[in-house]
Amino acid sequence: MEVPWGTVTALTGPNGAGKSTLVELLAGVRRPAGGVIERDADVALVVQRPAAPETLSLTVQDVVAMGTWGDRKYGRGARSSRERARNVSRAIARVEMGGLERRPFSALSGGQRQRALLAQGLARSARILILDEPAAGLDHESQTRARRILAEEADRGIAVLCVTHDRADIAAADHVLRLDRGVVLPESTHRAGPGPRAPGSGH
């Protein structure tokens, strides 16, 4: 499979097909038993909202800032603390959680946690953005906002891969990959137009 630059690629398929395992492999969280995974740039992985114990002392600001941990421009060294702080503030604003920076992550609703995790991925400013069910727990307005953000990232040349069952997410994607029993089926393209937003391809 290939994930092109400047596009949103939806990865869909039945439960148990291996979608979450595949994105963890692509993001480098897991190591493959065989085959080759090529990544031409830094990767940000947005997971489904985790359970958070009430004793967890992390704030929204802390969680989003974690996206910059180990953050480095691909092959060009680490970003400055000022640049990382700007990325965190910008990401929080994009998911419309301004004013909640000091709110404990454990006190957030499920949808708010998912928005904070999306901001965490955005704060990394990686050129490859991989999301595992980013719309989980979001209301309609937040889902629409998330789709708009992903489209904006693709417009900047980012390679976006999104695991989803949501029909609106699939319809909005540039490309769709279906996974069934661990096998990636032939790709279908939804977007009408000249093709990818930017040349090249990410793997």
Answer yes or no: is pLDDT of 33 > 60.
yes
Question: Of the candidates 91, 125, 159, which is a domain's last residue?
Answer: 125
Other residues' Cβ atoms within 10 Å of the Cβ of residue 6: 21
Ramachandran sector of residue 99 (left: φ over 0; alpha: ψ -120 to 50; beta: rest):
left
- Tell me the C-alpha distance between 93 and 88, whole Å: 9
Q: Please compute the mean of the pLDDT values over residues 129-147 and round it to a whole number.
A: 88
CATH number of the CATH domain containing 203: 3.40.50.300
Question: Of the candidates 125, 144, 176, which is a domain's last residue?
Answer: 125
Q: Are residues 188 and 159 in the same domain?
A: yes
Q: Are residues 140 and 194 in the same domain?
A: yes
Mean pLDDT estimate for the chain: 85
Q: Please compute the mean of the pLDDT values over residues 89-96 and round it to a whole number.
A: 95
| Percentage of the chain lying above the pLDDT 90 cut | 47
> What confidence score (pLDDT) does residue 92 get?
96
Q: Are residues 132 and 35 in the same domain?
A: yes
Q: Please compute the mean of the pLDDT values over residues 110-117 and round it to a whole number.
A: 90
Q: Are residues 81 and 111 in the same domain?
A: yes
* Long-range CB contacts (within 8 A, 24+) of 66-70: 66/120, 67/91, 67/119, 67/120, 67/121, 67/122, 67/123, 67/124, 68/123, 68/124
Pairing mode, strands 7-12 and 175-180 = parallel
Q: Are residues 133 and 198 in the same domain?
A: yes
> What confidence score (pLDDT) does residue 190 get?
56
Answer yes or no: is pLDDT of 22 > 70.
yes
Answer yes or no: is pLDDT of 75 > 90.
no
For 42-65, the pLDDT digits (tens) are 999 998 766 666 667 899 999 999
Q: Are residues 185 and 158 in the same domain?
A: yes
Residue 46 domain-assigned (yes or no): no
Tell me the pLDDT band of 200, cut-offs 50, 70 and 90: very low
> What confidence score (pLDDT) does residue 69 get?
85
Contacts of 93 (CB under 8 A, 6+ apart): none
What pTM did the predictor assign? 0.84
Question: Of the candidates 82, 110, 125, which is a domain's last residue?
Answer: 125
Q: Are residues 20 and 72 in the same domain?
A: no
Residue 33 domain-assigned (yes or no): yes
- Domain of residue 82, residue span: 51-125
- Tell me the C-alpha distance between 197 and 164, whole Å: 21
- Tell me the C-alpha distance between 12 and 4, whole Å: 17
> What confidence score (pLDDT) does residue 182 get?
81
Tell me the pLDDT band of 202, cut-offs 50, 70 and 90: very low
Answer yes or no: is pLDDT of 5 > 50.
yes
Q: Are residues 146 and 201 in the same domain?
A: yes
